[in-house]
Structure 1
Amino acid sequence: MNRILRGIMKYREVQKVEMVKQFLKVKDHPTPKAVFFTCIDSRMIPTRFTQTNVGDMFIVRNAGNIIPHSHHFLDELTSNEPAALELGCVINDIRHIIVCGHSDCKAINLLYKLQDENSSSQENRRLSSLCSWMHTHGSPSLEKFQQLQIADYTKPLIFQAETPMRKFVAYIDPDNKFAVEDKLSQIHTLQQLQNIASYGFLKKRLEKHQLHIHALWFDIYTGEIYYFSRAAKTFVIIDEGNIEKLLEEVEDYYS
């Protein structure tokens, strides 16, 4: 707490005046451009690596950047994540949803271990909220990962896109740069796009291309950020060499 309180004092000295100006600027007419789902990992600071500011994004964080599939709820509106989707995309008419996973994710590392029957046992799930959360909502990601394992990590996976009739192909880490847990993390990030599309209150907007879903992936130890390119069928690094192609793709796919 000492560090937190001293940090607040530094904010008062250095940033408060400018931030209040920004709050007042967007007070009556905030125009957020995205709903951004990411992990609670303390190393993930999305406003910093996207250089966004007051009023730019709704940010939703949980262990493992999960958006539960709607079939988990008798009433699909009874969880924080769909409530955030409704608040952002229906009430505030935000047009872009972004899911951002990351490397060395402790929740995903646990999900990888849940392939072991003892780790995923009912007894363990009763003892651990995190184990239960990841087992309940991460199993589809694990199933796709096991498909990739059987194919020696070389064959593509198929994911549902905005509607059941729209699919996209994904090659996961084709250059084999990342650990197996990170490959699972990328799969898991893409699986959340499919989960988002399961909510009925988003159906018409998705069908009419009024709402668009994207995936980012952050490599903690290099600081590099990847965008899932449906054209390239894989996660592509966002850098000086790729930015124009990615901007053109976003314009073509999502305009």
Structure 2
Amino acid sequence: MDRILRGIMKYRQTDRKKMVEQFEIVKNRPEPKAVFFTCMDSRMIPTRFTETNVGDMFVVRNAGNIIPHSQHFVDEATTNEPAALELGCVVNDIRHIIVCGHSDCKAMNLLYALQCEEFSSQKNRRISPLRAWLSAHASSSLSKFQQLEMTGFDKPLVFHAETQMRKFVAYIDPEDKFCIADKLSQVNCLQQLQNIASYGFLKKRLEKHQLHIHALWFDIYTGDIYYFSRQNKRFVDVNEVTINMLEKEVLKYYS
């Protein structure tokens, strides 16, 4: 806590004035461009690696960057994530939703371990909110990953996109650069796009191309950021070589 308090004092001496100036500019009329879902991992600082600023994004964080499927909610029982989707995309008319996973994700490591029946037993879920959260809301990601594992990791997976009729194909780590848990993390990231599209209050916007869903993946060891390219059917490293191609894809499909 001492480090936090000293950080606040440093902020007061360095960044505070600039931030207040930015608050004045956006004031009561912020125009955020994206709802950004990512993991609560302390190594993930999305506003830094996207160079976004005050008023640019709604950021929602949890263990494993998971957006539960709408089937889990009846009546008024819900969680923060769909509420954030409504606040961002309906109330504030934000047009882009981004889900960002990352390497060495502790939640994904735990999800992989939940394949063990004893580890994922009801008894263990009752003493571990994290295991219960993952068992309830990330089991679809694990099932999708198991499909991939059964084929030797070289066959594509198919995900529903904005509608049930619209689908996209994904090759997961075709160059075999990442470990098993990282492959699962990438599958989980794409599964969340399918989960987002399950919400009825987003249906018309998705069908009319007024709302777009994207996936990013961050390698914490190299600092590289990957964008899932539906055109290339895989996560593509965003760099000086690929940026023009990716920008053209975004303008073509998501403008």
TM range (shorter): over 0.9
Q: CA deviation at 1:77?
A: 7.0
Classify 1:226/1:77 alpha carbon distance in 2 versus 1 (closer, same or farther; 3 Å): farther
Q: Which residue of 1 aligns with 2:183?
A: 183
Alignment of 1:33-48 (within 5 A): 33-48=33-48
- When the two structures are superposed, what TM-score results if normalisation uses the length of structure 1? 0.99
Structure 1: which amino acid aligns with 2:188?
H
Distance 2:78 2:178 in 1: 36
**Structure 1 regions of 5+ residues with no counterpart?**
none
Q: Which residue of 1 aligns with 2:115?
A: 115
- When the two structures are superposed, what TM-score results if normalisation uses the length of structure 2? 0.99
Classify 1:77/1:37 alpha carbon distance in 2 versus 1 (closer, same or farther; 3 Å): farther
Structure 1: which amino acid aligns with 2:104?
D
Count of equivalent residues:
255
Q: CA deviation at 1:78?
A: 2.4
For residues 198-252 of structure 1, the C-alpha deviation after alignment (integer angstroms, 9 at most, x for no partner) is 0000000000000000000000100000000000000000000000000000000
**Residue 138 of structure 2: SS of its match in structure 1?**
helix
**Residue 52 of structure 1: SS of its match in structure 2?**
coil
Distance 1:148 1:15 in 2: 46
Q: Which residue of 2 aligns with 1:65?
A: 65
Runs of 4+ in structure 1 deviating by more than 4 angstroms, as ranges, are none
Q: Which residue of 2 aligns with 1:152?
A: 152
Q: CA deviation at 1:29?
A: 1.4
Q: Which residue of 2 aligns with 1:167?
A: 167
Structure 2: which amino acid aligns with 1:6?
R
Q: CA deviation at 1:76?
A: 6.8
**Residue 19 of structure 2: SS of its match in structure 1?**
helix
Structure 2: which amino acid aligns with 1:237?
D
Task: Report % sequence identity.
Answer: 73
Classify 1:187/1:216 alpha carbon distance in 2 versus 1 (closer, same or farther; 3 Å): same
Distance 1:254 1:211 in 2: 8
Alignment of 1:1-255 (within 5 A): 1-75=1-75, 78-255=78-255
Distance 1:124 1:107 in 2: 16
Distance 2:16 2:163 in 1: 44
**Residue 36 of structure 1: SS of its match in structure 2?**
strand
Structure 1: which amino acid aligns with 2:182?
D
Distance 2:123 2:19 in 1: 48
**Residue 131 of structure 1: SS of its match in structure 2?**
helix
Contact 1:76/1:82 (<8 A) preserved: no
Q: CA deviation at 1:5?
A: 0.2
For residues 127-166 of structure 1, the C-alpha deviation after alignment (integer angstroms, 9 at most, x for no partner) is 1000000111111011011111110000000000000000
**Residue 10 of structure 1: SS of its match in structure 2?**
helix
Q: CA deviation at 1:24?
A: 1.0
Distance 1:92 1:75 in 2: 24
Distance 2:38 2:128 in 1: 21
Contact 1:77/1:83 (<8 A) preserved: no
**Residue 101 of structure 2: SS of its match in structure 1?**
strand
Classify 1:242/1:195 alpha carbon distance in 2 versus 1 (closer, same or farther; 3 Å): same
For residues 65-116 of structure 1, the C-alpha deviation after alignment (integer angstroms, 9 at most, x for no partner) is 0000000010377221011001100011000000000000000000000011
Distance 1:76 1:241 in 2: 48
Distance 1:240 1:149 in 2: 32
RMSD over aligned Cα, in angstroms?
0.8
